[in-house]
Amino acid sequence: MECMSTMKSSVKRKAIGIVGGVGPYAGLDLNQKIYASTRVRREQDHLEVYLLSCPSLIEDRTEYLLHPDTVENPGYAIFAVVKKLSLLGAEVVGIPCNTSHCPPILDIVERGIAASALPITFVHMIRETSRFVHANHPDIKRVGLLATVGTCRSGVYAKVFEESGIEVLVPPPDRQKRVHAAIYDASYGIKCHPNPITRQAIAALSEVGTELVKSGAEAVIMGCTEIPLAMRPVNLGVPKIDTTLVLARALIEYAAPEALAPLP
């Protein structure tokens, strides 16, 4: 079998770009999962990755979806970061933020990429998550979704997963607010307290995840990139789908498929 260093000379490997700052720890988590999912024999075999984190430039995605008349569409700032990544040399780009993939935001990004003719492949996190579930859990027909209020209300997961014949269960509105608080609350939410994660955030996510399983979910989608940071110790009795890990593996697959390590 050809060693990795020899393969590099014959296979064009593309540089990966990460739109960071949405939130910042999610970008770091994605970067780590890219490295953890890359098959290497030495450190030089790792892929070229650019992480550009500009949190002060990008408005909160859910805040925009809930109040579009008072908050600037974050899609414009996200596209500006994508453009900078392209100028740095990134050829495969991902956004580690599920809410950013809601059409009112992502449409701005995708139109900007097309209008500027950027030489990149944009990897759509939610489509890749649907593809991952279909490929690795083919018997699953119903999943539960833990996500921000903005992502839940947008229906983007239901629309994408419908194409694979998978039903998406979302928590009722009051439970969506509990999940949202676990992400955003200034006193205990993951965005403000990412390291260490508070017990209160873990308990809230575990509680609502368990309710989704009792309602018939055969897997639970961790549909906000902050959630996998908190759910590592939680056992729901069904697969937990880490959308950050899915995006990491998809980015490697598009950049250098021969370097993608097997799933654990």
The CATH architecture of the domain made up of 126-242 is 3-Layer(aba) Sandwich (3.40)
Q: State residue 37's pLDDT score.
A: 98
Asked whether the domain spanning 126-242 has the same topology as the one spanning 4-124+246-259, the reply is yes
Tens digit of pLDDT for each residue in 136-148?
Answer: 999 999 999 999 9
Structure tokens of 247?
A: 């995006």
**pLDDT score at 131:** 97
> pLDDT tens, 171-224?
999 999 999 999 999 999 999 999 999 999 999 999 999 999 999 999 999 999
CATH number of the domain at 4-124+246-259, out of 3.40.50.1860, 3.40.350.10, 3.40.50.10700, 3.40.50.2300?
3.40.50.1860
pLDDT digit string, tens, across residues 38-53 = 999 999 999 999 999 9
Looking at residue 12, what is its pLDDT?
86
Domain ranges of the chain: 4-124+246-259, 126-242
For position 10, what pLDDT does the model report? 54
The pLDDT tens digits for 60-80 are 999 999 999 999 999 999 999
Token pair listed for 32:
């780590």
Report d(CA 76, CA 142) in Å as an integer: 34
pLDDT at 166 over 80: yes
- pLDDT tens, 11-31? 789 999 999 999 999 999 999
| 75-110 pLDDT per residue, tens | 999 999 999 999 999 999 999 999 999 999 999 999
Q: What is the DSSP string of the chain?
A: ---HHHHHHHSPPPPEEEEE-SSHHHHHHHHHHHHHTB--SSGGGSPPEEEEE-GGGS--HHHHHH-TTTS--THHHHHHHHHHHHHHT--EEE---SGGGSHHHHHHHHHHHHHHT-S-EEE-HHHHHHHHHHHH-TT--EEEEE--HHHHHHTHHHHHHHTTT-EEE---HHHHHHHHHHHH-TTT-TTT--SSPPHHHHHHHHHHHHHHHHTT-SSEEE-STTHHHHHTT---SS-EEEHHHHHHHHHHHHH-GGGBPPP-
Q: What is the largest CA-CA distance in the chain?
A: 58
Distance, in Å, from the CA atom of 111 to the CA atom of 113, rounded to the nearest integer, reads 5
Task: Return the active site residues.
Answer: 97, 224
Q: Above 90 in pLDDT, residue 134?
A: yes
